[in-house]
Each structure stands twice: as C-alpha cells, then as structure tokens.
Structure 1
Amino acid sequence: MSAVLNQEKKRTGRTPRPPERRQVLSPAQSRTLIGVAFRVPGVLLAIITTVVLVTLVSVNSELTGTFGAIAGLWFAVHLVPLSIAGTSLGVFPLLPTLVVAAVVVRRIARTMTETTTRRDCAWIVGAAVLGPLVVTALALAVAADASAAIGLSSPHALVAFAWVAGVHAVSAGIGVCVGTWNSDAVAERVPTWIGEIVTPTIRAASVLVAGGGAIVLVAMIASWSTMEMLLESGNGFVGFLGLTVLSVLYLPNVVLGSLAVAVGSSSHIGDVTVSLFQSVGGPVPPLPILSVLPEGAAQTAWMLMLIVPICAGILLGRECARRSVDVHYALSSVWLGAAVIGLCALVLGFAAGGNLGTFGTVQVTVWSFGLLVFAWLAVVGSIAAAVTVWRGGSKELPVPDVAPAGAVAVAAIGPPVVHEERAVDAEVVEEPDMVEAAPAVVDQPADDPAEDIVDAEVVEVPDDEQTSDEVDTETAATPDGDDKP
C-alpha cells in the first residue's frame, strides 16, 4: 500500500512540461523579409558603384575617394542634404528617387498574397525600412572617414535617417496598398465609391504631369539656341554627355516648377522668380534644362497655362460622376481625389527644393502649390460632375424587372413538353375517332404562380355524338390550388 502511495506522490509531484513556443517567423518568411530588406538597396549600391567608377575613370581621376563618392550618391538619391567643401547642396534630381520608389512599390506589391495578414504587412514594411537604414548607417561612417579626402562632410545622422526612412516607408506603404487592394478583406472594409475614385484620381494626376511636360517642351523649343550654347560649354563629349544626363535627371524638378506656375503659384531659383503675373531675373546655374526659364517679363499669353488644371478638373469630375449613383457621391469623390492630388503636390514640391550653394534656395511656394492644385481640381471638378449628373451621365442603380403574371406562370411551368398522349397549347384536330382538346388557361393571381398549372384531358367522343362547334373540356382550379377534373 505504501508503494502505491509513493507512486501517486511521484505522479502528482512531476513538473509539467512548458508549452512549446510558437515560432515568430518561419524560414520561408525570414528569407522573404531578408530579400525585401536588402535586395533593392543592394542593387542600388551596385548601380551607384558602377556610375562612380565609370565617371572617375572617364575623367582620369584617382580612385582614393571612391567610397566617399558612393556614400554621397546614396545620400543624394534619398534627398539627404550634403555639404561639399563647405558648400551646402540640398537640391537633388527627383528622377532617381522616383525610380527607387517605383521599384520598392513593385517589389512590395509582388510580395503580397491573398493570405497576407496585418501582422505580415507590418513585418514587410518594417523590413523594407530597416534594410536601407542599415546601409545608411554604413554610409554615414564611410562619409565621416572620407571627409578628409574629398571634402564631403557627413550629414546629420537624424536628418539622414529621416529622409531614407521616409522615402522607403512611403514607398512600402503604397506597395502594400497596391498589393492588397483587390483582396476580400480590403473590399469588405473600404466603401465601393472610395475604390472607384482611384482611376479618376490617377488620370487627373497624369493630365497635370503631361501638361507640365508640354509646357517645358514648348519652352525648350522656344529657347533652343540658349540650350545649344549651354551644351557646347561642356568642352568635349564627356562634358556634353554629363550636362545632358544632369538635364534629364533634373527634368521632373523642372516639370514640377512649370506645373506650379500653371496653377497660379510661383517657382524660385535664388533671386529668379517666375509666376503667371511676374518674372524676375537673376543668375542661374549653367544647366541646359534651365534654359526654359523666361528671359523677359510676364506676358498675357502665359494665362493659357491655366488650361492644364482646368482640363484635369473636368476629367476628374466627369470620371467621378460616371462612376457614382448620384451627385452627392460624385462631389465627395471629386473632393477626395483633389485632396489626394493636392497632398502629393505639396510633398513633391517640398522634396524638390533646397539650397544650391551660392545661388540660394531653389523651391516652389509649397503651401500655395498644394492648395491651388486642390482648389482647381475641387471647384472645376465639382462643376463638371454636377453637369454630367444633370445630363444623365451618372451610373444608375439596377432596377429589377417586374414580369407580368402570365410570364411568371410560364417561367414556373417551363417550356411546353409534348407527349404522345398530352400536349400543351395543342390545336383541335378533327379525326374520325379522336379529338384533342386544347387546355383552357385560367388566370390566377400573380402572387401564386403555381395555381396557373392546368391539366388537360383528351376525351374520346363517338362519331355520332361529336359536334363541330363545341368540345367538352373539364378544367377547374380550386382557390387553394388543387385541380379537380
């Protein structure tokens, strides 16, 4: 008995096993996050290294400052302000930044699947930001070490981390939205009318960008002689190629400045100011793309640039009205789309500005740029949407078709089936020994189609009792739906 009691004590005193800990990430998820974190920065560093080496070799320069130049280009791509030989440089071309952002968006969107949860999205966005921050920390150390060789001062760490994190966080967020937009979870939470304004908003923004590009193209054609003179100042093929590449890289900045002028705001390059109402001259950098700046005072013909925001507003209003059921939804869609485009204009206008050494500050008037873009699109788009709805161009709600009682009965019965001994809708045929009688259809209320079912009997009539004017057919339907012969 004591042995049994001791055994029970041993069982009750046994230490329970701790529960198995759940893995935070599976091996497949870890590999995916590592790819998201370091693939785009790795490819970007490879491209930057190639450009630096080709540039240094083409100008017969020493390779002592290679690592410092690579770090400097990493900061320039992410719009981090730099100081080179005591000269501040805060205006960088937007084209490389936009390309990097587009690549990140595509990469993140392809990572999303139908089974991706919020937790997975958070991990992916965190990895997309953490990888570039690690590279930025290394670039800061390299820039501090190479400051004596090439005169590059290491930028402020917090500013560098903020710009890099901002570029990749915004790009990763857009990628998550693009990748999960068609999922069932998003479709359940987002109203239908909000999802339908994405296409009109993108088209209106495309009209604005195309209009700004058209303005720059016309200005380039008008000042082609000045552009050729600036290109020839490169002193050889290498200088010509370098100025051309720089002009292409700064093209989005110039298009953004022309768009700011088109909506009524102003652009500044040091002492130079350009707007629809005035033009103030001054010294500018010898960059060929800057030949689009006007050489004289403001002219009345510049008011034609207002066509760009007006066309974008009309397109936004018409597209929103055609996708909405009434004017209230159309106006809400127009104002929301205009707010999104205005916010994007404000952010891009802020990113495109900065200091340019002795020339001063290069910028657009950011607050008026974003506000005027929103105002033009909202006002013109609202008018266009109201007119479109008034003319009957809005989407109509589906109206269910109300079928008549007879059609409901036929639909319930189905198509007539012909048998050898019974036929529906048969004609009376005179035969020597048999007459087939046509069934009599009794009208019933529309709310009970089953009562319209009619049974017809074929009655054999002797030859001597058959008449040519009438046929005996007995068909009756009781109120409760039972048929009696």
Structure 2
Amino acid sequence: MSKKTSPQSRPRRRPRTLRGGESTPATQGRESARAATRGAAQKAGQKAAQKKITPDKDVPTTVLGRFRRFLPTVGIPNIVVVLGIIVVALAGLMFTASPLTWLPAAIAQLWLILNAAPATIDGLEIGVVPLLPALGLVALIARRIRVAVRERVSVADLLVLTACTLVIPVVLTLIAAGMMWDAGRVFDVGAPPLADAVGRTLLLHATALVIGMGGRLWGALLRRYGAPDGLVDAAVVALRILGWLAVAAAVVMVILFIMSWPRQVEVAGVYNSTAAVVAVSILSVLYLPNAVISAVAVLLGSEFHIGAASVSLFAIDLVPLPPLPLLAIIPGTASQWAVILLVAVAGITAYLVGSARLNLIQAVAAGVVAALVALVATELTSGQLAEFGDVGPMRLLTAGLALAWITGVGLVAAGVGKLADRRAPEPEAGVDADPQPDADTEPVDDGDDQVIDGEVIEDADDAVDADGADDADGADDADGADDADGTEGSEGADGDEGDVDTHEDAADAADADDAGEVEGVDDVEEPAESDESADSPESQHHDNDTVITEDAAATADAEDAEGTDVSGGTDGRKPPATD
C-alpha cells in the first residue's frame, strides 16, 4: 500500500483552501452555500425547539389564566346542550298544546334525564332513565377535552380541566333540582333525590374526562408517577373484551327479537293508535344501551331484575311487565342451551387476552378495569322504576364476575405463555435470540408523550411536523452542488495537488452529510470533539423532571453524522482511497 492510499499516513482534515492560501470562486461559492445551509438548519431547529419546549405566549401560567383557557372547553358544549334543551322543551309544549308555565319544569327535567339523573313525577321516582342521550353528551364532552389536551398540557392544567369538567354540570344539576322543587309547588312534579342526581352527573362527566384524555396522555401520566408499564395496554384489552361482549349481547337480542315477533304484535295491540306505537318504539330505542348493558351482565352469569322478576342464563322468573317492545323480547323460560353462551364469553376473553400476551400484573389490572367499568355501567342502568321497584343488573355480582372472568383467563394465559417460553429450545450459537418484529406489527412508540418541565406533552412530534422543521433536513442536499463544480471530481484534476484534492473530496462528502455543523473545519482523528455535545446540559435527562430538548436531538444527530463515515464506517476513519 502506498503512502498516498494508506489510512494511517493520511493528513488531518483542514480547511478547503489552496496551498497559497487563496480560494477560487468555486470554493467560495461552496463555502457560501454551506454557510447558508447551516444557518437555515440552525434556524429551523431553534424554531422547532422553541415551539416544542418553550412556553407559548398564549399558554397561561396562572390559575386564573388556566381557567380562562379551559372554561370554554367544557362550558360551551354545556351551554349548547342547554340551548338545545330549551328548543326541544318549547317544541314539546307547542306540540302538546301545554301552557308555557310548564317550560321551566320541562327544561329542568330534560337536563336531569340527559345526565342520567332520576326524575320524580306524581310522587313516583323513575330512577332508570334512557342512556342513549347521556352517551351522546359523553361523546360531545370527551371530544372537546380531547382537542384541548392534544398538544400541550401540564399537571396543573389537568387539575383545572378536571375542576371545570365536573363543577359546571354539577352546578347546572343543582339549578335544575331547584327548578323542579319550585315547580313541584304548582305541578305534580318533584325534585329528584339530590345525592343520586349529583352522583350520577359526576359519574357521567368523569367518564367523559377519562375517555377524552386518551391512552397516550394516561400513559405519560403513569410513567411520570412511576406506575408499572403496560397498565394502559391492560385497560385497552379490558375495554375491548367488554366491547366484544356488548356486540355478542346485541346479536343475542336481535335473535330474541325475531323469535318474539308474536309477542311484539300483542304489545302493539295494547295501544289504540299508531302514534302511541311509534312513541313506545322510540322509547325502546332510547333504552337500547340499558338493555345491552343488562344483556352483558346476563352473559357474564349475573342476573337482571325488574322488581320481583329476574332473568339469567339459568332461570327466568317473570311478572307482568310494562308493555314495551324492548321488554317483550324476554322469553318466558330459560332454554337449556342458554348456558352455552358462557362458552362464548370464555372464548372471547381468551382470544383477546391471548392475543395481547398480558403478563401477570397486566392480567390483574385488566380485570380491575373491567370490574370498574361494569360497576359504573350497572350503576347508571339501575334504580327505582315507579311501582315496579328496583330495576337493573346486580351491581356487585356483575362487577365481580367481570373481574373473575378477565383476571382468571388472563392469569391462565400468562402462565401458559411463561411455560411455553421455558420449554422453547435454546437458540443456536450465532443465531440472534431476539428476532426482529414482523413488518405488519406496529412498534409501540413511547417517545410521543413527553414530560417536559412538569408538563405532559402529547403528540409533541406533530408540532414539529406542522411547523415544517423536518423539511430543514432536506436542505442538506444543497451541498450536493459541490459535485457540479467539477473541481473535485477526480484525483488528479489539479496536477501535483491531486493528493490534497483526494482528501478534500472525502471531507466534502463528510460535511455534506452533516449540515448542522457550526464550524466548517472538522477533525475525524479526534472523536472526543464530537462527544462534547453529549455532556451539555441541554442533552441530559433527569429522573425527577425529564427534559427533552430539540437541541439535544440535534446534538445526537450531529454525533451520528460525525461517527459514521460516508462509506459506512463507524470508527471515525475514512476508507482507504484507491488510485
């Protein structure tokens, strides 16, 4: 190997100037292009870092400012709902030719029903109200919350948002209860049980808050406070299981509706007008979520009660029921094959738990989440129904069965998975024991949610992409203009200065790969120089208050570019050039 091509004997990189110290116009043009590229990259990086980390001017930092920010988030939809209730109440009074003095009571009653609160009419309590309008309200509030916490939110912001989400509807419920109490002195209505009304309102809007925050934000919060990993995944599995059970319950209800068609005809014959039949049919549709929740409880092995009547997979005991098409689907006796539905429940649970490959902690967490969801759902669908008594699924039994099904199947699946891993053959020597993930499997990216200076940032990468900062990397291609000059394309283009040009070609390629350098001169023989940025305060991560800055990301990219040769080397050396 000649001295010219030996990697040990090559000179250190130096500025691209000729021996006489004079630079050519082409060299000056290349240096100007590099300087412009570096300036554009640094400006874009600083702008992205400022948007990603530095608090915005519009982001409040005081309690009053936070209330001003989040109060419209949940206040506007509640106001819109109240205005819609007023319109519906006016239309109902005009349609029924009722006096306008009923308007305050109608507005208050509709608000209470919309929040799943019980109603009192003629001294009779109706504690089981339709859940379909309430689910629409939950979806509306959850959507607004999701938009509010999508970009940047801190723990203090979450506390203020929670207060706004819960306090506003509770105040409106108290006002509605007062209006009902005032109307009860004139009309045959009364104020609902205050504890039940406020409790259900809180439960409904807290559910909207939990749904609106989203899985990523919950994951960031759990990681911030040191919770075990995978709890969000366990909650998602539990919700999927309950969702598939709800689908199975709906299918069973459709089959029962077809089989009970003669009874549906009998129920329609009770009413003397088509309008009454349409009214009770609409009422049955509004009660469909209640019926699905009760059917899921029955599929789990629990019981559903309508006063003295009880319905389960094992036995059905009926009494005279209200003439509703929805109640007419209940068969008179339990079929012998109904117990087979428990096998379907076990199959759905085992399939979803096995697909998720939960560990022992996640299996228990999934069971707890399912039990809590079942408890909330059964609470919202249970209560007094006039003279019939207590109506709804058995709350504690349904929650306990949900916990037992999901936790039991999850623990069995986790144990089988561990046993299979132990019996798996040891990987052969030279074979990678950790195979690469499948192309169809989407890896979990935990970097989207960040905790920055006490702030939980969700989808922080979207802010960078929206600003176009990533496009700054494309500016690196501007260095490719060096090849167009034709001054460094060959080794002997400059006669006796071919050795200098050979090293300058390699330097051009290295600098073209790293447009973020501040200095135009780089020394590949001193790798410690590229590691200085790794020790800077901007790239350090703290345990108690993690800080992830854009400057640290840019430094990491600079380190990768410095330590990687243009030809694929990773030791900071360039491959030997060939004559």
**192-201 vs 41-50, which deviates more?**
192-201
Deviation for aligned residue 1:305: 1.6
- Map residues 452-467 of structure 1 onto 2, 5 A cutoff: none
Is residue 223–residue 229 contact of structure 2 (8 Å, CA) maintained in 1?
A: no
Say yes or no: does 1:337 pair with 2:366: yes
How big is each residue's C-alpha offset from its partner over 1:127-168, in whole Å with a ceiling of 9 and x where there is no partner? 111211222232122212211343111124444333323322
Match of 1:319 in 2: 355
Match of 2:139 in 1: 102
Match of 2:554 in 1: none
Give me the whole-angstrom Cα distance separating, in 2, the residues matched to 1:456 and 1:293: 85
The normalised TM-score by structure 1 is 0.70
Aligned equivalent of 1:305, options 324, 335, 341: 341
Deviation for aligned residue 1:85: 0.8
- Map residues 158-169 of structure 1 onto 2, 5 A cutoff: 158-169=195-206
Match of 1:288 in 2: 325
- Map residues 96-245 of structure 1 onto 2, 5 A cutoff: 96-178=133-215, 180-181=217-218, 186=223, 189-245=226-282
Larger radius of gyration: 1
Deviation for aligned residue 1:366: 1.4
Match of 1:259 in 2: 296
Deviation for aligned residue 1:239: 1.9
Is residue 317–residue 383 contact of structure 1 (8 Å, CA) maintained in 2?
A: no
Is residue 84–residue 151 contact of structure 1 (8 Å, CA) maintained in 2?
A: yes
Give me the whole-angstrom Cα distance separating, in 2, the residues matched to 1:391 and 1:201: 24
Match of 1:368 in 2: 397
Match of 1:348 in 2: 377
Deviating beyond 6 angstroms after TM superposition, the runs of 4 or more aligned structure 1 residues are 418-422, 452-458
The alignment-based identity, stated in percent, is: 26
Is residue 315–residue 381 contact of structure 1 (8 Å, CA) maintained in 2?
A: no
Match of 1:38 in 2: 75
AA aligned to 1:304 is I
Give me the whole-angstrom Cα distance separating, in 1, the residues matched to 2:125 and 2:287: 18
How big is each residue's C-alpha offset from its partner over 1:168-206, in whole Å with a ceiling of 9 and x where there is no partner? 234224423547246598578454432433442332121
The normalised TM-score by structure 2 is 0.59
Say yes or no: does 1:379 pair with 2:415: no
Deviation for aligned residue 1:337: 1.0
Give me the whole-angstrom Cα distance separating, in 2, the residues matched to 1:192 and 1:41: 36
Is residue 312–residue 377 contact of structure 1 (8 Å, CA) maintained in 2?
A: no
Give me the whole-angstrom Cα distance separating, in 2, the residues matched to 1:172 and 1:457: 66
Is residue 220–residue 292 contact of structure 1 (8 Å, CA) maintained in 2?
A: yes
Is residue 109–residue 176 contact of structure 1 (8 Å, CA) maintained in 2?
A: yes
Say yes or no: does 1:269 pair with 2:306: yes
Give me the whole-angstrom Cα distance separating, in 1, the residues matched to 2:347 and 2:248: 9
**48-57 vs 131-140, which deviates more?**
48-57
Is residue 338–residue 374 contact of structure 1 (8 Å, CA) maintained in 2?
A: yes
Change (3 A) 1:453 1:263: closer
Deviation for aligned residue 1:264: 1.2
Change (3 A) 1:320 1:61: same
Change (3 A) 1:193 1:60: same
How big is each residue's C-alpha offset from its partner over 1:332-377, in whole Å with a ceiling of 9 and x where there is no partner? 2222112211221122112211111111211212111111122122
SS across alignment from 2:412: helix
How big is each residue's C-alpha offset from its partner over 1:70-129, in whole Å with a ceiling of 9 and x where there is no partner? 111211222323321111211111222222222222211211144311111111111111
Match of 2:545 in 1: none
Change (3 A) 1:225 1:45: farther
Give me the whole-angstrom Cα distance separating, in 2, the residues matched to 1:300 and 1:360: 29
- Map residues 373-412 of structure 1 onto 2, 5 A cutoff: 373-387=402-416, 399=434
Match of 2:110 in 1: 73
Give me the whole-angstrom Cα distance separating, in 2, the residues matched to 1:85 and 1:150: 9
Give me the whole-angstrom Cα distance separating, in 1, the residues matched to 2:124 and 2:222: 51
Give me the whole-angstrom Cα distance separating, in 2, the residues matched to 1:239 and 1:456: 92
Is residue 115–residue 200 contact of structure 2 (8 Å, CA) maintained in 1?
A: yes
SS across alignment from 1:273: strand
Structure 1, unaligned runs of 5 or more: 1-21, 325-329, 402-417, 423-448, 459-485
Give me the whole-angstrom Cα distance separating, in 1, the residues matched to 2:106 and 2:576: 95
Change (3 A) 1:375 1:55: same
Relative contact order, higher structure (CA 8 A, sep 6+): 2
Is residue 200–residue 380 contact of structure 2 (8 Å, CA) maintained in 1?
A: no
**160-169 vs 117-126, which deviates more?**
160-169
How big is each residue's C-alpha offset from its partner over 1:398-430, in whole Å with a ceiling of 9 and x where there is no partner? 8499xxxxxxxxxxxxxxxx98999xxxxxxxx
**241-250 vs 230-239, which deviates more?**
230-239
Match of 1:247 in 2: 284
